[in-house]
Structure 1
Amino acid sequence: MQVKKNPKFDLNRNSGLYFVIGLTIVLFLTWRALEYKTYPEDFETLNMTMAVDDLKEDVPITESIKTPPPPPPPSAPEVIEVVEDSEEIEETIIESTEISQETVIEEVIAVDDVEVGEEDEEITVPFAIIENVPIFPGCESATNNEERKLCFQKMIQEHINKEFTYPPSALELGIQGRVFVQFLIDSKGNIGGIRMRGPDRTLEKEAERIVATLPRMTPGKQRGRAVSVPYSIPINFMIQ
């Protein structure tokens, strides 16, 4: 038996069209939902100032004080009496203490009575050309000037290696370099006049401390007279 249907009532006939229409409507609604924007409402605030016409201010009541006028000045006497000076006043004469060319000096000082003091002048001779270099303690056995120079330089280097301490602050910061130190061995063998030049103040202070601990030496001599001798040496600060 064949089933008969009216083609006008076939629901599957336009299903593709309905699907496209529904999809279009959904896409349109989705697009509008994404494009929808809201804006905050602007509120205008009106500041109103009220002016008051009548301003009443309480003024304190003050009382005026009446002072009496000053008394009139005394009137001059009608008759003026003249009094004669009866006492004599002695005048004091002030003598001048200035000395002129006509003043004669009675006390004469003899030339033999004047003592003339001689002031020793500090002479400085460079280390390279001095006749007798300063003697470092322990170099007394050197026979000539060249041996004293070599012993002096050796003992200076040993003293620096013994007293050398790397500053902790410079070590933490990685500061290193060479410090040039110049000092003076005076005519009495003392160390003084220390001057430094280096890359950092911390290294310069350490170099100054090392040189300041040098022992007292036998002063250098030039023509048999004790003189001051400057000496320069570099101190290297290297981080290994």
Structure 2
Amino acid sequence: MRKLLVLIVILSLTSCEYFNVKKTSSEAILKEELETFNWKDVDEYPSFSVCDSSSSKAERTLCFQTTITQHITNYLQEERIVVTQDINDTLMLNFQVSNTGNLSLLEAKIDSLTYYEIPNIKELLNQSLDVLPKIFPAIKRGQQVTTEFKLPIVIHVN
């Protein structure tokens, strides 16, 4: 009987912890959620209406990049560019698509020879972006978000 009484006393003293309820604030929940949040990835990449038929995220991403690349390349091919020597260069363009769907060129890494031969290359690139079709912004957790990305453009002028 004594052993049973001692066991009941020990169990009752240690079981009190199980009945304590931890209170967590909304700030703590938010902080924990933000720590597990992947800020470098979006649920849906920015897209054009022509990319809506793509079924996977990778296909829509490739469609978006291909559409921009083709559009810039076509625009530059229509321009009359006169150079004194052949140019074969890859430009690295850093873009930003705002949460409203506005595309802007943040930075263009251009070789010095290309910049020397085509001094208005940045203006031509910006002009090519002005006539792009409507862009639908990226989506993260149901919200439209601003995204940045890099895109190589090959310039070949003879």
Shorter-chain TM range is 0.5 to 0.7
Amino acid aligned to 2:60: R
C-alpha contact 1:131 1:223 (8 A) present in aligned 2:
yes
Question: Could you tell me which of 124, 127, 131 is aligned with 1:206?
Answer: 124
Call closer, same or farther: CA 1:175–1:203 in 2, change over 3 Å: farther
Q: CA RMSD in A?
A: 2.4
Matched, 1:239 2:157: yes
Amino acid aligned to 1:156: I
| Structure 1 residues not aligned, in runs of 5+ | 1-124
TM-score of the pair, normalised by structure 1: 0.41
- The aligned residue for residue 95 of structure 2 is 183
C-alpha contact 1:220 1:227 (8 A) present in aligned 2:
yes
- The aligned residue for residue 27 of structure 2 is none
Residue 167 of structure 1: how far off its partner (Å): 6.0
Call closer, same or farther: CA 1:152–1:210 in 2, change over 3 Å: same
Q: Which of structures 1 and 2 has the larger relative contact order (alpha carbons within 8 angstroms, sep 6+)?
A: 2
TM-score of the pair, normalised by structure 2: 0.59
- The aligned residue for residue 174 of structure 1 is 85
* Count of equivalent residues: 113
| Structure 2 residues not aligned, in runs of 5+ | 1-38
Deviating above 6 A after TM superposition, structure 1's stretches of 4 or more consecutive aligned residues are: none
Distance 2:49 2:124 in 1: 23
Matches within 5 A, 1:40-55: none
Which structure shows the bigger proportion of residues in strand conformation?
A: 2
Residue 142 of structure 1: how far off its partner (Å): 2.0
Question: Could you tell me which of 58, 71, 74 is aligned with 1:146?
Answer: 58
Identity of aligned residues (%): 21
Call closer, same or farther: CA 1:178–1:204 in 2, change over 3 Å: farther
Which structure shows the bigger proportion of residues in helix conformation?
A: 2
C-alpha contact 2:93 2:105 (8 A) present in aligned 1:
no
- The aligned residue for residue 162 of structure 1 is 74
